[in-house]
Amino acid sequence: MPVLVAYATKYGATRGIAEHVARELTDAGHPAETLPAATVTDLSGYTAVIVGSAVFAGRWHRDARDFVRRHGAQLRERPVWLFSSGPLGTATHDKAGKDLVETSQPLAIAKLVEATGARGTAVFFGALDTARLDRAGRLVMRVPAARDVMVEGDFRDWPAIAAWARGVASELSATRG
Ligand SMILES: Cc1cc2nc3c(=O)[nH]c(=O)nc-3n(C[C@H](O)[C@H](O)[C@H](O)COP(=O)(O)O)c2cc1C
């Protein structure tokens, strides 16, 4: 049975990360497929599940939160990992010196881990194209503090994403025995 990489995206960056994770898992001997989280109705055909979501205002995309709510029981019965696509820019630390990967975890990450029984979580840098922002996004961009962190560009760190996926593959191999 394959591994499912279910993702929730608004602008597409998270889908690209999900596809990269799935390719790495497949290359490592764990065939994986990607699906938008909102389209998944049953997890019984999957050995393991990775759930990835874009982060907006500190929260996972609604499709990912609904996915966890809908499939909590099935998720807890199989190996699960979570990833978030959030921070933007090339800085690794914020103005207060805090690691952006840590501060960009969704506010509810502990609850998401508890609800899914996740074995691990990751935060990856994302991407932003301001020309594609919806009205709410454009409003956020008018707040000076938000403008500091909403850096335009594609900051997805493909080697970091691949390394994490290979770590997941190793754990799956160990589980399979
Ligand atoms: C309105 C708005 C709010 C955002 N809020 C956050 C946030 O709170 N934390 C964070 O790490 N990234 C935040 N981001 C950055 C997005 O998570 C990032 O651009 C992500 O890669 C978008 O994923 P998607 O293209 O899959 O929708 C925000 C982006 C927008 C447009």
Is the CB of 14 within 6 Å of ligand 1? yes
Q: Whose CA is nearest to atom 23 of ligand 1?
A: 54
Q: Which residue has the tokens 């454009």?
A: 138
Superfamily of domain 3-171: Flavodoxin domain (3.40.50.360)
How many angstroms separate the alpha carbon of residue 143 from the centre of ligand 1?
Answer: 15
Q: Whose CA is nearest to atom 28 of ligand 1?
A: 56
Is the CB of 13 within 6 Å of ligand 1? yes
Q: Which residues contact 143 (CB under 8 A, 6 or more apart)?
A: none
Tens place of pLDDT per residue across the chain (177 aa): 999 999 999 999 999 999 999 999 999 999 999 999 999 999 999 999 999 999 999 999 999 999 999 999 999 999 999 999 999 999 999 889 999 999 999 999 999 999 999 999 999 999 999 999 999 999 988 998 888 889 999 999 999 999 999 999 999 999 876
> Within 13 A of 163's CA, how many CA atoms are on the CB side?
7
Residue 7 CA: which ligand 1 atom is closest? 26
Cα–Cα distance measured from residue 96 to residue 124, given in angstroms and rounded to the nearest whole number: 20
Is the CB of 89 within 6 Å of ligand 1? no
Q: How far is CA 176 from the centre of its chain?
A: 24
pLDDT given for residue 147 in this prediction: 84
- Tell me which residue of 169, 61, 62, 47 sits closest to 120, measured CA to CA: 169
The strand pairing partners of 35, in sequence order, are: 6
Is the CB of 160 within 6 Å of ligand 1? no
List C-alpha distances in Å: 143 to 56, 76, 104, 140, 146: 15, 40, 19, 6, 5
Residue 126 CA: which ligand 1 atom is closest? 21
Cα–Cα distance measured from residue 43 to residue 22, given in angstroms and rounded to the nearest whole number: 16
SS3 content of the chain, % helix, strand, coil (to 5): 45, 20, 35
Is the CB of 108 within 6 Å of ligand 1? no
Q: Are 3 and 46 in contact (CB under 8 A)?
A: yes
Tokens encoding 108: 């509810």
How many angstroms separate the alpha carbon of residue 135 from the centre of ligand 1?
Answer: 14
- Tell me which residue of 54, 68, 81 sits closest to 115, measured CA to CA: 68
How many angstroms separate the alpha carbon of residue 43 from the centre of ligand 1?
Answer: 27
